[in-house]
Structure formats: C-alpha cells, structure tokens
Chains A and B, each alone.
Chain A
Amino acid sequence: MKGSCFSLLRLPRSLGDLFKFFLCALCVFGGQFALVGCASRQTQAARLPPVEVWGKEKAATAGNFIGPRAVTVDDKNDWVYIVDSSGRIQKFTRGGKFLKQWRTPSIEKGKPEGLALTPEGNLVVTDTHYSRVLIYSPEGKLLKKFGSYGSGPDQFVLATGVAVDKQGNIYVADYNGAPGEGLRVRIHKFDANAKFLLEWGGYGEAPGKFRRLNGIAVDPEGNVVVADIVNHRIQIFSPQGKLLRYFGKLGKGDGELNYPYGVAVGKDGSIYVVEWGNCRVQKFTPEGKFIAKWGGVGRAPGKLAHPWGLAVDEHGYVYVADTENDRVQKFKL
C-alpha cells in the first residue's frame, strides 16, 4: 500500500483511506486494551460482576449498612440476615427487599460479629463484646441468651463466630488475643438447649491451635470448618473436635490466604473463604483444592474492601459482607 502511511496523515479523502485509518486505530487501541487486560489478570482476582449490590450509602437506615460483618441465609424461607457495626440485624428477602430490622440490646461496648441459623429457623447472634450468644425468633423477638465473660468452659472472652449443625448444636468461636492464664482461643460446642458439650483449641501456630477466630461453618457432613485468621489457614474438625485437615498459607496467589475472616460451605461441600487482607473470595473443594477466586481491593461493584463475612445459599449465590464499602454484594459463580 504505497503511500498508505502518508495518506493517513491527510484527511481521509476516500473510503479506502477511511478504512486504513480505522484499521490502524483499532490496532493501536485494541493492543493497549489487550495489554491492560493481560497485566491486570495477574495482579488481581478474576472479574465477577455482582448480581446485586445491597446498601446505597453508609447509614444506619433500612436497607443501608455501616460496616456489615456477617451474613446468613435461611434457605427454607428465602430470607437473608445481615448484622453490621451499628448493632442492627436486618432481614431481607433473597431478592434484596428489606423486611425488618432490630438492634441487639446493648451496643456501647461493641457490636455483634457472627450469625447462624438453627434448624427451626431461629437466628443465633454472637454478641461479641458482651461475651454472650443471643437467639432471636425470625421476627426479632429475643428468645434466649447465654454466656458470660470468663475462662470457664461455657464462658467466652470475645465470642466472634457461630455456626449451627443439622442437629441444632451450636459451635461458638471464642477469641482472646493473648496466651494468658486460662483464657484461650478456642471453639465451644453447645447443644440446642445451650448446654455445654465440649471445647477444643488453644493459642498457637501448630495445627489444631488458633491465633485468631472469627469465621466458622458446618459442612454437609457435620464437620466444623474454622477460619484460623492470623495463621492464615482453614482448619476442619470432626464434630468431636478432632482435626481432620487444614489448608492455606499466607500469600496472595491462588489457594493462599491473607487474614481469612469468614467461611461458608455450599450445599455440595465446597468451601468459600473471604479474605480480609486480600479483599477477595476464594472457592475450594472440601479437600482444600483451589477452584476459583474473585473480588479484589476496590470500591467499584465487584470489588471488596476488607470484607468480614459471607454466606452461601442452596442455589449457589454467595452473599459477601463487603465491610468497608458498607454494602453486601451478591455473586453467582
């Protein structure tokens, strides 16, 4: 195409010129996009746009959140419960319609950090800084509370996460930062009537020990999946507290964790982990093999900012408490 470059510098006089011009432009810009796309794939998690984003502004009003920390889904009734740093528990439909909200009794010392559902459909809330567990009816009526501050078997220091198995047994993750006397980082198991059954754990880095606890879930077989945050790993125990397996180590790559705060288990047993440090969600097989990841640090929809918790419903939708973005995002992988 003799003279073609020069013909581009002139205004396109004919269709041929115009065609050449657009071809060149396409090459230049398209190449840039491709480059950016390739590069970004390496540094951030895959893009997964959310199905829905709940929460328009940082406010303590219906439908909005201030630092949401935990989510749980009632599959039978299609309800989603979310607790946030304003001490409110909000109830939505799965489609995001706001239904109801209520506050925990006291919030001056701190706000609840964990949610779970009993087989009857009641909501179990760990009132973390008051070292107790509250149980509410689906309408928000306080049915029961138990627990107090201390080092006894049925006492908590900071009751962070909670999970309930099919029999109604309640597992409470209890965190205290120091290897002080008698106060240990541990998991308590209570029966459906809040009677203490057993506890296990301890502070440390060895398998079976924890350095910080928050996320806890029960898989379809009844095993307890625990997020051991500061050790950057997930540990899985039998219902009797015996360590079955663990996976994860500190890092940014696939399968590596950075302060995993929340865990949830899908109907098929796959484990979803939300990482505070890497601001993303990862999906693993029950054995701990990496399947997928998404998220990444940011404020745009699809990005996360220091998320604390997540929940999975029976259809495979993942609800992530995007804490520092003051919203909850719903994804479908």
Chain B
Amino acid sequence: MRKVLSHPFSWLFLLAAVIAFGVWQGRLSFTHPHWLLVFPFALYYFYCLNRTGRGLIPFLSSYVDLSPGRRNFVFGVRMMLLLLVFLALAGLQWVRINHDLAVMFVLDHSDSISPQAKEAQVKFVNEAVTHMRGGDKAGIIVFGAEAFVELSPAARIKVTKIQSVPPTQYTDIAAAIRLAMASFPEGMQKRIVLLSDGNENLGNALDEAQMARTQNVPIDVIPLVPPPRPEIVLDKIVAPSEAKIGEPIELRLVIRSTVDATAKLKLFRNDAYLGERTLVLSKDKTNNFTFPQTVEKQGFTTFEAILETTKGRDTLFENNRGLAFVNIQGKPKVLLVEGDPRTESQWLERALRAEKVDVERRDVSGIPTRLTDFQNFDSIVLSNVPAWDLSLTQMQAIQAAVRDLGIGLVMIGGEHSFGPGGYRDTPIEKALPVKMDVKNQQVMPSGAVAMVMHSCEFPNGNDWAKATCTEVINQLGPEDFAGVIEFGMTGAGWVFPMLKVGPNKRKMQRLIRGMNPGDMPDFGAVADLAYEGLRKTKARLKHMIILSDGDPALPTPQQIAKIRRAGITITTLAVGPHNKSCSDNMKWLAFQGKGRFYEITKFQDIPKIFLKEAATVMKSAIVEEPFRPRVTAHPLLKGIRGTPPLLGYVGTSEKPRAEVIFKSHRNDPVLAVWQYGLGRSLAFTSDAKHRWAAPWIPWSGYPKFWAQAVRWTMRQTTPTNFQTTVDITRGKGRIIVDAVDEKGNFINFLNAKARIIPPFRTMERSASSWDVPLEQTAPGRYEATFDAREVGTYTINIHSQGGGQKPSQQVTGAVIPYSPEYKDMKADRFLLARLADVSGGRQYENLQRPEDIFAARREGAKFPREMWLPLLTLAACLLPFDIAVRRLMVGKAELVAILLFLWQHLPLLRRRQRTREERDEHIGRLLDVKQRVRQREEGEEATTTTPREPPRAPTPARQPTPPPSQPSAQQPSPPPSEQTSAAEDTLSRLRKARDRARGQDKK
C-alpha cells in the first residue's frame, strides 16, 4: 500500500480521476481538450529519462547521478509541472453555476395596444414576481417607438402604474430587446419576457433575437391579441403626381375591413367638399374603388378622402383618412400679399398686371399654411407684412418654399416690415438677403422697453410670461434696451434692469428663465421703478408694457404726470380681469400713457402683442429722409436708367453673399438679392406705396421695374413629365421616378436629386430639409430611399439636370396621415413565434400563467472561469524547486540546520520558557548532533577543538523555545558520557567567550 502511495503515478491517476469527475459534474471544462492527448506522450518521455538516465538531449540527463529518492522526487516535480502546463494548454475552466434568474419584462405600450391590455400586462407582471425565488431579480422595460427602462432589475418590484411614456406611434420591438439585453445584471441566468401584439413597424426584431441567442438570453413571448373588433381602414389613395388642366385623372382608394359594412366616402379637393359616395365593403378582402376626377384649375391639388360608417362598425377613426397630391401644371403665377388692408398698394398690383404678370392678390389671412399649397406659385411677394401676422408654420413654409422648391420671395418694406416688423430671428429672415440688424447702429437712435409681468395665474402663466419676454428680447436690436419688472419676495424689483440687448442677451435670457412673477398690490411702485430705469437709458423711444389682471392699485396722478413728461408710453394687456372695473383700470392706464390697451382672450396672443408693442421702439430703425439710391448695374435693371428719389427706408444690413443693387445715402442696402437654396429672394427696404415711394408711382419705369424684379425671382425650372411614385412603409420612404420624354424614350444619365422636406416641427425655428441622390436602377428609372418616421406630409422636390434636358423639377408629396399603429388590426403571432424559436424561448398562449415565468426551466447559468493563469503561475513556482532539487546539495545536515534556525526563530506558543540551563543544555545537544553528522560525513578531518559554526548565544529579547520534556528539572540530566563532556566543553568555551566579551570572569 505504501509503495503504491509513494509512487508518483498513483498520485497522477488520482488527480486524473478527480478531474474527470469534475468534468462529468460540469464543474470543470476544457476549451482545448486535444492537448490532453499529448500529455501521456510527454509523460512517457520523462519517465524514460528517469529510468534509463539517458536522454535524447544530453543536458536533460543531468539527474542521472542523483540518489534514487532524489531522482523520484525530481520526477514527481517534473510530472507536476508537466501536468500543470498541459492543463493550462487544454484550457481548464472552473465552471461556476448560478441558479438565480434575472427576468426583464418587455411591455408593448404602442398605440395598437388597448388600455385594457396595458392593465392586464401590469397585473401579469405583479403576479409573476410573487413567484420569484431567493436571488432572483426582475425589471421592466416599456417601449413604443423607443424603449425606456421603467424599473431596473431589482430583487423586489411592485408596479402600480407605469410611469414611463415612450413615443407610441410606432412599435420597435428590436430596440426593446436591445435595451433589455443591455440592462441585465451580470452573473445570473437571463430571460426576456415579451408582451406584445407583434405588429412591429420599425426595426427588425428577428435580428435582435439572433443576437439574444448568442448571448444565451431566451425570449419568451406572450401575444396580446386585440379583441376582435370591427375595423375599417383606409389604406391609401393612389393618384398620378402630374396632370394637365382638364386632363381626367383617376383616384384609386384601397380600403380594408374586418366586417361586411357599408361606408360613406367623402371626397375633398383642396379642402373643398366634392361629394360623397356609398361604398359596400367586404371583410378580409382588399376593397378597391376608383374615382375619376378632372381638375380645371392649375396648381397643386390635394385630395382628401374620409370614410364614415355606422356606429359599431368601426373602432378607430384615425385610420379612416387618406391624402393624395396631384400637380396640375399651368402658367406661372405670383402671390401678392398686402400687409396694409387699406389697399394703398393697388399700384403694385396694377403695375404687375400691366406687365402681364399673373398676380393673385390675397390678404394676410389668405397666406397658405401648407408647404404644398405654395407650389401653385412661382414667386411670393410680401409688401409691408409684419411678422406677427404670420404663424411660425407659415414662415417655415415660406422658407422651405424658397430653399427647397425654388419659389421666389420678394419682401417689400414699410413701417411694419423687416426689423420693425419683428422679423429678427425668424425663418423668413434666413431666406432674405439682408439681416435685420442695422449696420450703422451708432447713428441710429435706440429704443427702450420695460416689461411688467403680474398675475400670471392662468394655466402655464409663468411659462407664457417667460416666453413673451424672451421673444421680445430676440426682436430688439443690439443697441436697444430691455428690462423686466416683477413683484418678488421683497417687493417690486427688476429681473434685470434696463440693459443693452446686444452684449447682455444671454444674461437676460438666463434671468428670465428664473423669473417668478408674483402678486402685485400696486402699480405705483412699479411705475416709479420703470420711470427711473427708462429715463436713465436716454433712448429715443421709451415704452412700458404691462401685463396684469387689473387688480393692483393705480399710480397716483403725480406718478402718471412724471411718466408722461419723460416721454414714456404705456401699453396694457388685461388678462383675466376680475370684473369690468379691473379692465377699466387697465384701459385708463393705457389711455393716460398714450399707449394701447388689449383685452386678452387667447393666451397665445400675448407674445404676438408684446412683439408688436416692442416693435414700436424698433421704429428707430426707420430712416425717413429723401435720398436718391446709388445704383449698381444688374440684369434685373435691364432697360432702366436712373430712378427717382425715395423718401425713406428701413435700416438693415446685407448678408455676405448678397448682391446690393441700390444703396441709400447712408450706405444701407435698399435693394438686395441673392440665391437661397433652389430659389431666389429679393429685399427692397423702401416701400412701393405713397409713403416712401411717392416719387416712384408716377414714374414710367415703376411697372417695368417691379415686373422685372418679380420675374427675376420666379422659378427657372420647367416642370417635367416624370412619373413619380412615393411610398412610405415601416419608417422608410421610397421614391421611384420613371423619366420618359415626349417621344416615349427613356431619359438616362440624369443628375437627379430629391429634396425631402419633412413635416414641420414647431419647436424648430427653421424648416429642415435634405437632399437624397436618385440612383438610376434601370433605363429611365431612378430610385432613392429616405427616413420617414413622423406623421404628416413629406414634400419632395425632384430636381434634375443633364441627360439632354433643361434643369427641371417636379414637386410631389407623400403623406403619413396616421401612425401605422392604427393600420394593423390583428396580432402578428407568426413574428412572435419566430422570435421565441430563434432565441430558444417559450411561447405562451396568453396571460394565464404568470407563475411559469419564474418557476419553469431553471437550468442555472454557467460561468466558466479560465484557470490557465493560476496553473501557469503554479508551474512557474515549481520550476525553481525542480532546479533546486537537482542542483543544491541539501543533505541531512542542511535540513537539520534549517530546522534549528526555524526552531529558534518561530514563536511556537505552546512551548513554555525553559530555564537558562535547560536552554543551554538543549542547545548544546543540538550542536553536538550537528557536529556528529559533520564528522561522519567528512570523516576524520573534523576536530572538536575548532568549531566551525558561529556561537549562537541567545539574545536577551528572544526566548528560545524549550523542548517539552523535563518541566521541573533544575539540574539538567545530562545525556550519556562522551556527549556530555563534549557538550560541556563546547558550552564552557562558549560561555567563556561570552564572559570575556562582557568583561566578567565567572569561572
């Protein structure tokens, strides 16, 4: 038995058995087990070396001359080393198994999920987590078009109400799966539970399911089936994109329905009701209906269809709408908008008509709001139209019309235009060749506005106050002054005192954001404060705007007189006055202050009115002096020699790329032009009516000048006859253009680009658009794709050149009238089943078994840990042993010396302190043993008189450890004879030496 145990091979077998057991249990694994096959061969080689003592390589036979015991020891060490190296090569891994489960519940909250289904989801989750075990964790993700983490994985969760609100117009299951995978905690088994109807319309969930599989995350799916309900969906309207006047076109409607029903279809053209027709719909079949139409009027025509049906046959109304665009080509037309309704400018209209320009004159209220409606015109003329009469959408549309559709813009001045018209920082300013900042600001007198904000107790009142102040500051020129007064905790005070807008604009905006207007008991205090501030600015025009409910006490007559004397005007806005007397107060105050009074009924009007009021101080940008414009030659002045003088203009400054054709006597631009995107725009800072252009009206060149100016801005491209279809599905739009010339030949090698203008966002101050190049994919066929995720109208301008054609463009549109969430009427169980299959998850039938989520299929997750580094480290540590055993002569004597050393220096607490004699005796005994061994090994060379080892006198601080024997002996019982004498000799010698050193002789 002993022999077996001592044999190195038996240890090896034991180790191998242990490893095999570990592998079988799954606790150990190998990544490259083939290296283990090489191990026996290497072992055999070393074994042979051990036995024969002769190796194939000379230096390896170095331990041939060792003793067998030592040789076996070396062989053992070598074998261990080899084993370690080979285990490391084979990639031994220690596998940790974690039985805890982390589950991420992924809840679909898109618009296609009903509120009842959402509640059922929450109930299901709460049920399921009651079956969680010890170290389990659960988390919740809520998704629609984007995914949000509602609850991070935690050991205990309870949901009462879902707090996250993701955008819900789309379903993006892929994003939700991605987020879930990123949210898992490490070191646990992972699982995703997806509750959805499977109607994905964004992203690709199957790809993500594949990813989940590679990361060992199964996706369990629970379909949320919408209860069967009657639904009629107007899928789309198909119409040609271009047609000629009078040409019959066909509108084709595609309708889907889950029930047999009759529905009434109402058709509108350009918002005008055309008529209705009763349709018979059959369920589960694509119903197609065609409507022939003829359009007599030129321009961009929008057809809209709305389906109505009897109650109970349709659940969602949002998907009963469809839009289509047809462009009816015709003669070029100009839109003329007069800001001043008192029609002082019929001169301009008459002049243009006389020059055969087709003019359509409209009021400010007639300006189109949709970009596609501008398509009817080739140029837009705005004469003295203030910015506060236009909505942000209209301004964005005009900017996009010029930049992206190539329509021209002509802006004619007046007292309500350009800077004083409030155009600073608007989309239209971006399209103009001039900036609203006056160039020679130092010469121009400045204006000062003090705004008083009180009683913003209507909903979002505070926000309205802040937005209003910010708008006004944006409109003022850099040399103008602005200040805001509020009643704060300590009384009437400046949010910021009257400061110049230019250098302080950012500071002002920051302070406005922190504004907190409170109650105001008294106008008088405020009036005093404003008076002081406004007077100090020394601005030419000083104005105060007060927003209040009329409750505060009015200023005293003395205060009012003071204000009037200083030339300060007061305008009041009454918001929510308690009664007539309150609004009368405000009226009286405005009357006394020679300003205006407004009674606010719509809060949205407040910023507009403030703007208008602030613009009164910007009248300082107007120069009213007669002058003769200095002329630079330009094609649009062809045939015009010299102009009569003008009587005034609005100060502006030209933009770097603009061409200035007329300059004023002060070097300010009067007529400037430039190219903006695909279109041209022109700014004329004087006016076209009798106020400043009186000498021009009788001038013979007046009609010619304006006609040429307007014509110059009109679109230069010819419309094309391309057949264009645009289709938007799953967040991507696809454009297909078929270019065929009149003869029917394909047009190839066109350099065509599609300019995409997405639906306007009111948060942005500028319309966005981008170009997508059209690639030719077949003779005469060009295609492009673009991102389309927002609901609304996408306007697309296809402009092209080359291919033997003149530069041309075609405008068309595509609509997402409602979120695609409303299109699908059933759950897509097929997709959900595929997701579960691909990822290795389970398909549940419904929400009935929440307990299975945590109970079923807990295999435990394996977390292998690479062991090669510790193994190699251990091998490296063994290597010195191998060398040491072969090289160092460590015999018994050395072992004894080592033991002696350790004995003396290791505190073995069990041992008691012995007496000095016992110690000495013990030491003497050890020394003798040493000597004896030495003598034996070295033969007769050793003499007892020359001890070679240094005396080891014990130091006072260290107590040598006494052996356990003889606890009570005072007299050391000496060991037998000659040892004793030798010991005594040695010992006495030592003592003598020590005493000598200490200078005492005890002997």
Contact = CB atoms under 8 A, between A and B. Distances in A.
Interface of A: 109-110, 128-129, 131, 149, 157-158, 176-180, 183, 205, 211-212, 229-230, 258-259, 261, 276-277, 279, 297, 305-306, 324
A177 B550 contact: yes
A33 to B, nearest CB: 26
B903 interface: no
A306 B519 contact: yes
Given A129-B578, A178-B588, A276-B521, 12 more contacts: A129-B579, A149-B580, A157-B581, A158-B551, A176-B581, A177-B551, A177-B581, A211-B524, A212-B521, A261-B521, A279-B489, A306-B518
B845 interface: no
B584 A178 contact: yes
A178 B581 contact: yes
Nearest to B518: A306
Contacts, number: 68
Interface string B528-556: 00000000000000000000001111101
Contacts of A158: 551, 578-579, 581
B257 interface: no
B554 A109 contact: no
Contact of B581 (A180, A212, A276): A180
B473 to A, nearest CB: 28
A301 to B, nearest CB: 17
21 contacts: A128-B578, A129-B579, A149-B579, A176-B585, A177-B551, A177-B552, A177-B553, A178-B554, A179-B554, A180-B581, A180-B584, A183-B581, A211-B524, A212-B522, A229-B522, A230-B522, A259-B521, A259-B522, A279-B489, A305-B489, A324-B518
B489 A229 contact: no
Contacts of A177: 523, 550-554, 581-582, 585
A261 B520 CA distance: 12
B802 interface: no
A279 B578 CA distance: 26
A85 B910 CA distance: 85
A212 B553 contact: yes
List the 4 closest A-B pairs by CB distance, nearest first.
A178-B585, A230-B553, A212-B553, A230-B522
B579 A157 contact: yes
Interface in B894-910: none
A230 B521 contact: yes
B490 interface: yes
Interface string B475-508: 0000000000000011100000000000000000
Given A177-B551, A179-B554, A229 B521 contact: yes
Interface in B556-599: 556, 578-582, 584-585, 588
A205 B578 contact: no
Interface of A is mostly: loop
Contacts of A149: 579-580
Contacts of B523: 177
A149 B577 CA distance: 14
Contacts of B582: 177
Interface string B617-632: 0000000000000000
A259 B525 CA distance: 11
Contacts of A276: 521
Contact of B578 (A110, A259, A305): A110
A306 B489 contact: yes
A176 B585 CA distance: 9
Contacts of B588: 178, 180
Interface residues of B, number: 23
A149 B579 CA distance: 9
Contacts of B581: 157-158, 176-178, 180, 183
A305 B519 CA distance: 12
Contacts of B552: 177
Nearest to A259: B521
Contacts of B551: 158, 177
Contacts of B490: 277, 297
B782 to A, nearest CB: 62
Nearest to A210: B553
B559 to A, nearest CB: 11
A293 B519 CA distance: 24
Given A178-B584, A305-B489, A109 B578 contact: yes
Given A129-B579, A277-B491, A180 B585 contact: yes
Nearest to A276: B521
Contacts of A230: 521-522, 524, 553
A211 B553 contact: yes
Contacts of B556: 205, 211
A310 to B, nearest CB: 17
A306 B519 CA distance: 9
Interface string B423-448: 00000000000000000000000000
Name the residue among A109, A157, A277 with the largest chain B CB count within 10 angstroms: A277
Given A177-B550, A177-B553, A230-B524, A297 B585 contact: no
A258 B521 contact: no
Nearest to B523: A177
A198 B522 CA distance: 27
A64 to B, nearest CB: 20
Contacts of B579: 109, 129, 131, 149, 157-158
A297 B489 CA distance: 8
A183 B578 CA distance: 15
B551, B556, B581, B585 pick with most chain A CB within 10 angstroms: B581
A12 B524 CA distance: 65
B584 A258 contact: no
A128 B580 CA distance: 14
Contacts of A157: 579, 581
Contacts of B584: 178, 180
Interface in B217-261: none
A276 B553 CA distance: 15
A82 to B, nearest CB: 19
Contacts of A183: 581
A230 B524 CA distance: 9
Contacts of A110: 578
A202 to B, nearest CB: 13
A211 to B, nearest CB: 5
Q: Which residue of A177, A277, A324 has the most chain B CB atoms within 10 A of its CB atom?
A: A177
Nearest to A214: B521
B515 to A, nearest CB: 16
A261 B578 CA distance: 19
Contacts of B522: 211-212, 229-230, 259
A149 B556 CA distance: 25
A331 B373 CA distance: 70
Q: Which of A128, A205, A211, A276 has the most CB of B within 10 A?
A: A211
Interface string B944-984: 00000000000000000000000000000000000000000
Interface in B14-31: none
A158 B551 CA distance: 9
Interface string B312-350: 000000000000000000000000000000000000000
Contacts of B518: 306, 324
A306 B488 CA distance: 10
Contacts of A109: 578-579
Contacts of A178: 554, 581, 584-585, 588
Contacts of A305: 489
Contacts of A176: 581, 585
B555 to A, nearest CB: 10
Contacts of A259: 491, 521-522
Contacts of B491: 258-259, 277
A205 B558 CA distance: 11
Residue among B522, B582, B584 having the largest count of chain A Cβ atoms under 10 Å: B522
A141 B466 CA distance: 43
Contacts of A131: 579
A156 to B, nearest CB: 10
A109 B552 CA distance: 16
Contacts of A324: 518
